[in-house]
Chains A and B, each alone.
Chain A
Amino acid sequence: MQPPGGPSQKLALPHIQNIVAVASGKGGVGKSTVAANLALALARTSPRVGLLDADIYGPSVPIMMGVREVVDQATTPFPLERYGLKLMSMGFLVPPAQAVIWRGPMVHRAITQFLTDINWGPLDYLVIDLPPGTGDAQLTLTQTAPLSGAVIVTTPQDVALIDARKGLEMFRQVRVPVLGIIENMSGFQGEDGKRINIFGHGGGQKLANEAGVPFLGEIPIDPRVAECGDQGEPIVHKYPDSVVGKAYQALAATVIEQLRRSGKTPELPEVQL
């Protein structure tokens, strides 16, 4: 509890032009992969892009970006830089095998510190990889950070859509613009050109139509996506001319356009007491 007259919760981050949250109600749909590759695709249009890993309990950014050891802050300042991105993650502070067993207030403090105590410098885009669900991390960000918008990641099947709807509804309730829906793992095209919809197809578009938000695009299945993630060099960087690499670049262009259309969310008026 703050003492009366204490500082406001809202953070002002004027040096960061656009803050985009990558979210989903559901785990396992590829948020971190989408966040990392989207950030890299954005970095092909701007040299000032950051990626903040807000999944305190299960950070994925370190392994995806090839950072396999805890960072010694005495010798390596934050944010780290890889592939032209500025990065911050709990995974840089905690060994991979160590569980972070924290209640909400600690999560809130960590995420707030990642936003305010890390010298991000001027950024055109800060992509935030959210954990699954609609809990503490999401609340912290929507209450304190000037989010420009959120993209909702889903896979095509109904079991993913159920939770994606919840994630989308959360952003509506807290009045963060939903930039649109991304359908990840959207079909696999074999060498014979035949498409196989392993997880179905069209769920993302269906959800976008139902919710009245833009459908931002499909990311097809490519085994190299997982290989690149595990090897610490995301596919947009390693295979930018692949079908998936180009899909992410198209996605980045669409996100940029949606950010432009969405504009700045007006701040709530204040009252002097």
Chain B
Amino acid sequence: MSASGSAPLMPVTLSKDGPDRLIIEWSDGHRGVYTWQHLRANCPCAGCRDLREKPPDPFRILKPEELVPLAPVRMPPVGHYAYKIVWSDGHDSGIYTLEHLRSLCQCPQCNAEVRMQNAE
């Protein structure tokens, strides 16, 4: 963001919607909907990205912290450009830029756009 540029897309409010969802009201009027499961499944940290690229290991032994239902514990801002999600299993290395968060939106409109893009 330059001193003389136009305002970039920003979140206006973040709020929980029940135990399973996050709602982000964006500055362009869009209402973003996210399940915590979806956010964790798309964690941008290097470790999670590496895991997603590998085939699942059927012999992996789960850690005790993975046996309890996963929940977000905190979601502090990182600078002016991202959020970090601290999870109940201790995982906290994912830094979700605002652009990445917007791209993960699961509202009906965004889901339809993703389906169209995948179909092309």
Contacts and interface: CB of A to CB of B under 8 A. Distances in A.
A18 B44 CA distance: 32
B14 A178 contact: no
Interface string A167-182: 0000011111111100
A10 B93 contact: no
Interface stretch (B56-64, B78-86, B107-115): B78-86
Interface in A63-93: none
A271 B86 CA distance: 12
A164 to B, nearest CB: 14
Contact of B77 (A4, A180, A214, A268): A268
A134 to B, nearest CB: 14
Interface in A135-171: 142-144, 149
B4 A213 contact: yes
A269 B12 contact: yes
Interface string B7-22: 0101111111000001
B11 A2 contact: no
Interface stretch (A53-61, A106-114, A259-267): A259-267
A8 interface: yes
A113 to B, nearest CB: 18
B3 A142 contact: no
A82 B90 CA distance: 45
Contacts of B48: none
B81 A174 contact: yes
A203 B9 CA distance: 30
B81 A4 contact: no
Contacts of B76: 8-10, 270
Interface in B36-69: none
Interface in A190-206: none
A178 B2 contact: yes
B1 A178 contact: yes
A269 B22 CA distance: 13
A178 B90 contact: no
B77 A10 contact: yes
Given A4-B90, A175-B79, 9 more contacts: A1-B90, A1-B91, A2-B92, A9-B76, A175-B1, A178-B1, A214-B4, A269-B77, A273-B75
The 9 closest A-B pairs by CB, nearest first: A271-B14, A268-B77, A4-B73, A175-B81, A175-B80, A213-B2, A8-B76, A262-B3, A174-B81
Interface of B: 1-5, 8, 10-16, 22, 72-84, 86-88, 90-93, 95, 97-98
Interface of A: 1-6, 8-10, 142-144, 149, 172-180, 211-214, 258, 261-262, 265-273
